[in-house]
Amino acid sequence: MSIRVVDYQDYLSQDPVVRQRFIKNLGDSFSEIGFAIVSNHGVSEELKNKLFDLAQRYFSQADEIKRKDEDLSNNGQRGFIRKGRETAKGFTVPDLKEFYHVGQEVTDGDPIKNEYPVNIWPEQFPEFESITMEVFRTFEKTGRDLLSAIALYLNLEETYFDDKIHNGNSILRLLHYYAIEHADEIPVGAVRAGAHEDINLITLLMGGSAAGLQAQKTDGTWLDVAPEPNQIVINIGDMLQRLTNGRLKSTPHRVINLDSEGLKKPRYSTPFFLHPRSNMDLTCLPSCINDANPKKYSDLTAGQYLDERITELGLKAVM
């Protein structure tokens, strides 16, 4: 079992054979292991370098400065999220990370704007908004095209997802797995990111300044996910797995602790969690239900499912 590599520009090709090959390879990879690697994804090397330079400068600040950008009332949906706040489902100790969330900016008068917290922009980094929103919009477009390819793979209309993700509740995360000087400082059972599945439709992951990302194969073993510097990793989230009744797989993945020397180096990455609108119906597609694959999931909206999961992660207090 391997993760297939596809070229995003093939989907944009005017050659129907090239385009269809992209759709099949992408869909088959998601059906088999839930992951794919995509090259020529739209974010330029210049923009990527600006983003990672910004992340390194931001996270190098003292904790008390970063916490000025934290709003504990928004359930971790915007701004800075400190160390120790997120715990993977099924784990009892938090992940060894901190991160920053940038969310959807609604600019067309859509009333869904009222559902979203406002973004928090660090005053000491005036370029923060322009750089992160350029990455956000680029990945939003690439993600929309990838979902169109998925729709065609599922024999749906190419535009099936368009209205469902317009002004969707997507999140760009600047992620920092902080350096740990002494391995014996790590709490028992803590890892950089515990094994988990993503909540959303699809995730576009850029970077990973160090090794450690792994996906779980169906036999329970772990496969290193190691894209080239100019590639991004795409994986299926739980919402799309529910919609397709498990045909497309939301695969457990993790970021493991490296050896003691590796842990002394920080790791940066930037996932873009492509979410739909909260009212998207995640009821299993009839075409994905049959005698061999009976319906596996209860009927929920995307908003209901998101609310469940952020509570499980510890980002939202149980009332």
pLDDT 10s digits, 9-22: 999 999 999 999 99
What span, in angstroms and rounded, lies between the C-alpha atoms of 252 and 218?
A: 10
DSSP single-letter state for residue 14: S
The 10s digit of each residue's pLDDT in 102-148 is: 999 999 999 999 999 999 999 999 999 999 999 999 999 999 999 99
Within 8 A by CB and 6+ apart from 27, the residues are: 149, 150, 153, 154, 248
- Residue 107 DSSP SS3: coil
Q: What percent of the chain has pLDDT over 70?
A: 91
**Residue closest to 211 by CA, chosen among 257, 143, 150, 164:** 257
Query: For residue 191, what pLDDT is reported?
Result: 63
Query: For residue 265, what pLDDT is reported?
Result: 80
Query: For residue 102, what pLDDT is reported?
Result: 98
CATH for 4-312 is 2.60.120.330
Query: For residue 291, what pLDDT is reported?
Result: 96
Low-confidence ranges of the chain (pLDDT < 50): 318-319
Q: How many CB atoms lie within 10 A of CB 105?
A: 14
**Residue closest to 210 by CA, chosen among 194, 225, 221:** 225
